[in-house]
Amino acid sequence: MAQIIDVHSHLWAEDWLPERFWDAFVEIAVRENEKKGKEVDPDRIRESYLPTYWDPTGEKLLERMDEAGIDHQVVFGVDFGLALGEPETPIQEVNRTLAEFSADHPDRISTLATIDPRRPDAADHIDTALGAWGMDGLKLHPTAGFYHHDKETYRVLEVVRDHDVPVLTDSGPIFAPLYSKYSHPRNLDEVLSDFRDLDIIAAHMSFEWWRELHAVAKSKVNSRLHIDISGWQERCKEDPEEFATAVRHLMDAVGGDRMHFGTDDPAFDPVHPKEEWIENVQVLAERETEPTFSVREIEQLLGENTARLFDL
Ligand SMILES: [Zn+2]
């Protein structure tokens, strides 16, 4: 059977992310329930439900990989400290913990280093993470309040280029108090022109902005833009036609060899299990009405492309 690789996943721990991030998580859960006419107690979500996601050692992640039949997973942290207030554990320490996690499980886990490029030590830290610690690429989350084309970001990207590893960047709208404008796909324009030798993965197919991402992808055919489909677990159930249409258009634009499977878990897994998500992608190859996909295209998407990009 073809291998399944998740190019986009996280480990969450209480003290790795700012308190305001967890506040937002609870607010969203409460509001989403309210919209369905259900009342939930925010304190219960914070005290009982949220901790079920925390997994600083990666133990739960490895267990879920085995259960869901995922061969390899690319894991990373998020640096929202400058945007939302510093968490207890500095991002540099989170990166180091992830590097050790990957070193303990080299055939199951790869890791991307992440940092807000506005931190004074950003470029040096990424150099250490990609060099001495052997991490496998860079993750950027511009919604913290920076652009890909800011000079601080470029300094970090130059380091990544020296190490010849991929970059994965968040793309598409995001919840408050983070800022969606920085992760609008149109903001990939400059970096794709200025770093044409970098493999840049736009995450989430830019969610609802996938048509804008498509415009960028179609025009930057001579850059190395890749796309991951993580985070569409719910959307794909609500509107399978929209999902299939987005994947088809974007695959036609960047090429079948540059589309990647991802989950963005642990965020979705409890409500939209990985097994179901994988199946919803596999059935794309069985579609009889347009848009259709070949078995080969879906195999590439589910693992082959990520294996090649990360030399697995
Ligand atoms: Zn993510």
Separation CA 288–CA 286 (nearest Å): 6
Q: Report the pLDDT value the prediction gives residue 2, as an integer from 0 to 100.
A: 85
Structural domains for the chain = 5-13+58-309 (3.20.20.140)
One-letter amino acid at 272 equals H
Cα 122 to chain center, whole Å?
Answer: 20
Ligand 1 centre distance from Cα of residue 38 (Å): 27
First to last CA, the chain: 17
Taking the CA atoms of 48, 53, 59 and 65 in sequence, report the sign of the dihedral they define.
positive
SS3 228: strand
Residue by residue, DSSP assigns 237-299 as HH-HHHHHHHHHHHHHHH-GGGEE----TTSSTTTS-HHHHHHHHHGGGG--SSS---HHHHH
Ligand 1 centre distance from Cα of residue 289 (Å): 32
Q: Which residue has the tokens 């945007």?
A: 83
User: pLDDT in tens for each of the 312 residues of the chain?
Assistant: 689 999 999 999 999 999 999 999 999 999 999 999 999 999 999 999 999 999 999 999 999 999 999 999 999 999 999 999 999 999 999 999 999 999 999 999 999 999 999 999 999 999 999 999 999 999 999 999 999 999 999 999 999 999 999 999 999 999 999 999 999 999 999 999 999 999 999 999 999 999 999 999 999 999 999 999 999 999 999 999 999 999 999 999 999 999 999 999 999 998 999 999 999 999 999 999 999 999 999 999 999 999 999 999
Evaluate whether 260 touches 7 at the Cβ level (below 8 Å). Answer: yes
H or E element at residue 205: none
As residues whose CB is below 5 A from the ion ligand 1, the structure lists: 264
Ligand 1 centre distance from Cα of residue 84 (Å): 17
- 140: β partners: 169
Contacts of 164 (CB under 8 A, 6+ apart): none
Residue 196 has φ and ψ, to the nearest 5°, of -70, -15
Ligand 1 centre distance from Cα of residue 201 (Å): 12
Contacts of 158 (CB under 8 A, 6+ apart): 123
Q: Report the pLDDT value the prediction gives residue 1, as an integer from 0 to 100.
A: 63
Q: Report the pLDDT value the prediction gives residue 59, as an integer from 0 to 100.
A: 97
CB atoms within 10 A of CB 169: 20
Ligand 1 centre distance from Cα of residue 95 (Å): 15
Task: Take residue 303 and report the two structure tokens written for it.
Answer: 């693992």
> CA angle, 247 as apex, 242 and 251 as ends, to 5°?
150
Separation CA 207–CA 211 (nearest Å): 9
Q: Which residue has the tokens 């949220």?
A: 50
Ligand 1 centre distance from Cα of residue 61 (Å): 15
Task: Take residue 171 and report the two structure tokens written for it.
Answer: 């793309």
Separation CA 220–CA 198 (nearest Å): 13
Taking the CA atoms of 171, 175, 261 and 285 in sequence, report the sign of the dihedral they define.
negative
